[in-house]
Amino acid sequence: MSENLPKTLNCPACGAPLDFDGRSAIVRCKFCHNVSLVPGVLPTPVAAPGQSLDEIRRLAESGNMLEAVRMYREMFETGLKEAKDAVEALQAGRLVEPGVPAAAAARTQADLEAVLSEVRELLASGDKIAAIKRYRETWDVSLARAKYAIEQIEAGQPFQPGDDRVVQPDAVIPAVAVATIPAASGAWLGCAITGVILLFVGGILAFVLSQPGGPFVPLLIPNGPALLLPAQTGAAMDVAAVFYDPNAETRLLGLLDGSEGRMLWRSEPMPGDGYGDGLAAGDGLLYAANGSALLAYRLEDGSLAWQSSMPDRLSYGGDNLLVAGGRVLTSNLDQSVQAYDTLTGTLAWSLRLSGYDRNLRMADGLVVIFDYAGEPYTYSMLFLDPADGGVERIITPACPYSEYSSATADPDTGLFFDEAENAIFIFFDSSPGCVQRLDLSTGDVVWQTLDEDWYSFSPYGFNGLMAGSRIYFANTNELLAVDTASGGLQTLLSDSDYEFVPLAVMDETLIVRARRTRGTERFELWGLDPVSGALLWQLDLGVSGPLDPPDETSGLVDEDEPAWTWAEAGGNLLLVEFQAGPNQALARTLDPATGVVLAGTTSALTKVSGDFYSVPNLIGWRDGQLTFSLETKIYTLDVPTGEFIFISR
């Protein structure tokens, strides 16, 4: 070494004195274990303590490579790749310098300087990738280490070849660079590095704590009823939903922004068990039924406006929560109907039913309920003023099909109201089948049509579609159409292997869902001529089950059990199929006239983990956008483009 080089060297990482033996260019700090290259000293291959390396060599030569690599790693604190290369070098009879990769140790100082010069030239020409590759070839390090070193070289910063820590410059830098580092400067550098590490760790910690599920941002899981609401911005639809907080084991109400999915507000925890039974909106409030409690929250900020007690929880199934005429109406399990003032929650009126009707309907501005009102066990339709519960009219539908007997209606009878035509259309579950048109104001029969066949709408209820001047409806294995003006009845389809559900009339095509009941169940979409019933096209959906009733899929979406839903938008038929393995949503746009797929997109469900997942809960469609909840998130998917408008945070 030069006589100008001080005899005491300090570690550039921690400032501690280095024990330099005057021979090896490699010095390892005994305090922080940082490895430094002493400038001006060629990295000649000098063995580590001979006894140790001899033992490692003997283990390697005897075939015990695993133990040799383990001993080398423990002794010299190296990585697995470096230890393996060193042991292989020892086994081959070569000398090894611990702390220096075997590939680099075999090179002379001139070789190393030449490589560094080549790396700098590559950087100067803008070929950073080639520089990283050349560095990795020379020092046999990971991509991350090589990238770090190249960035240090590019920035003109000191580095140690083969290491990913900032150290004093290598032998290309003048010897005085290491020799004159005082302990105080080294200590400052150590503090700086410690500060950077603390900032980095603090940033990670802040990020983690700011994520849903952390102490400052609770993880909220959609778990209950949800509905779309006109957005405050006038653009996309906002989403109101009941959420579960697993940390606090409570449920609350939340409103999501429809354009970004961020939480606009969340309510205080709901009382009781917190399970939401129903959700409705009106008069600037959001109404939630929870057990026997009815709560109203202000849409502007989610604060509680009022809370009232119902005589029982909401009835199961059906439309059991309705806002009309300044009242919130509830259909309850104890066979009662309640009406509360929307602004104060005060009970306005209550009606105890004799029969069992779970649905609240609106027609001609009145609430329509089925109940016994005359003869025992004969249902009538009661038309009630929502403001005070006053009975405005009573209609008792009956279809006489012989001199001695007639069919009567009940809460599950097929029913359509057409206020523009001042008409009620009733489809009796009877033998023979019967269809009637009644005057909405008086209940008088306008026309009646009897069918030769028996109408049986069980067990899935009545499935019908009113489109234009026709009503299409299914009767087991038949699809029929009735003219709303004349009552003329027509059988469009009859197939003992299928059951039918009319979905929509689009572009002069009747879209029908067909379920094969013979053999293995499968679902298909058929396009029919709405007048003649002629088959125009078919789309086989295979084992994919519908998410819409009847026969709606429940449970899980698995690799061999996908699920689908549909909508009409922009004159096209939209289909979304949820698939697993991989987890994704396959969206297709079909021409309703031909059934031809016009476009298709695949959207990855990146927030869903595992090989299968729960069936999505459909919240609603709007202008070709499907909103649904799935596991811990709420999504809005723009089906034509396949882009997610938002995924809740």
The Cα angle at residue 319 between residues 338 and 383, in degrees rounded to 5: 60
Judged against a pLDDT cut of 80, whether residue 525 lies above it is answered with yes
- pLDDT at residue 233 in the model: 54
Q: In which band, very low, low, confident or very high, does the pLDDT at 47 lie, cut at 50, 70 and 90?
A: very low
Instruction: Tell me, yes or no, whether 73 lies in a domain.
Output: no
The strand pair at 545-546 and 563-569 is best described as parallel
Share of the chain above pLDDT 90, in %: 56
Domains identified in the chain, total number:
1
pLDDT of residue 595 exceeding 70: yes
> Does residue 115 form part of some domain?
yes
pLDDT at 219: 84
Average pLDDT over residues 533-550: 96
Confidence of residue 582 (pLDDT cuts 50, 70, 90): very high
CA angle 615, 616, 621 (to 5 degrees): 145
pLDDT at position 203 over 60: no
b/e sequence 378-394, b meaning 16+ C-beta within 10 Å: ebbbbbbbbeebeeebe
pLDDT of residue 189 exceeding 70? no
| Residue with the larger pLDDT of the pair 431 and 235 | 431
From the CB of residue 448, how many other CB atoms can be counted at a distance below 10 Å?
16
> Does the pLDDT value for residue 182 go beyond 60?
no
Mean pLDDT of all residues in 422-430: 95
Q: What is the C-alpha to C-alpha distance for residues 221 and 241, in angstroms, rounded to an integer?
A: 10
Residue 51: band (very low, low, confident or very high) from pLDDT cuts 50, 70, 90: low
DSSP letter string, 340-404: EETTT--EEEEEE-SS-----EEETTEEEEEEE-SSTT-EEEEEE-TTT--EEEEE--EEE-SSS
Q: Flag whether 623 is in a domain.
A: no
Picking from 129-143, 177-191, 448-462, 510-524, which range would have the lowest pLDDT averaged per residue?
Answer: 177-191
Is 482 part of any domain? no
Render pLDDT for 255-272 as a digit per residue (tens, 0 to 9): 999 988 999 999 999 987
Please state whether beta strands 366-372 and 633-638 pair in parallel, antiparallel, or not at all (unpaired).
Answer: unpaired
Q: Is residue 136, in this structure, part of any structural domain at all?
A: yes
What is the residue-wise DSSP string for 82-96? HHHHHHHHHHTT---
End-to-end distance of the chain based on CA atoms, in angstroms?
63
Average pLDDT of the segment spanning 533-541: 97
**Cis bond before residue 174 (omega within 30° of 0):** no
pLDDT at 578 over 70: yes
Instruction: Answer whether 195's CB lies under 8 Å from 187's CB.
Output: no
Identify the pLDDT of residue 134: 79
* Per-residue model confidence (pLDDT) at position 434: 96
Bond into 592 cis (ω within 30): no
pTM above the 0.85 mark? no
Determine, yes or no, domain membership for 532.
no
- What is the pLDDT of the chain when averaged over all its residues? 82
22 or 528: which leads in pLDDT? 528
Contact 149, 128 (CB under 8 A): no
Q: Note the pLDDT of residue 44.
A: 41
pLDDT for res 564: 98
pLDDT of 185 strictly over 60: no
C-alpha to C-alpha distance for 496 and 11, rounded to whole angstroms: 88
pLDDT computed for residue 163 by the predictor: 46
pLDDT exceeds 60 at position 107: no
Whether 545 shows a pLDDT value over 50: the answer reads yes
Does the residue 138 lie in any domain?
A: yes
In this structure, of 233-247, 283-297, 429-443, 579-593, the range with the lowest mean pLDDT score is: 233-247
Residue among 407, 408, 426 at smallest CA distance from 416: 426
230 lies in some domain: no
Report the range of poorest mean pLDDT among 83-97, 152-166, 233-247, 416-430: 152-166
Q: What is the pLDDT of residue 320?
A: 95
For the chain, what percent of residues have pLDDT higher than 70?
74
Residue 48, pLDDT > 50, answer no
**With 90 as the cut, is the pLDDT of residue 96 above it?**
no
List the domain range (segments joined by +) for residue 127. Answer: 9-46+97-200
Least confident of 107-111, 352-356, 472-476, 626-630: 107-111
3-class SS of residue 501: strand
What pLDDT sits at residue 36? 53
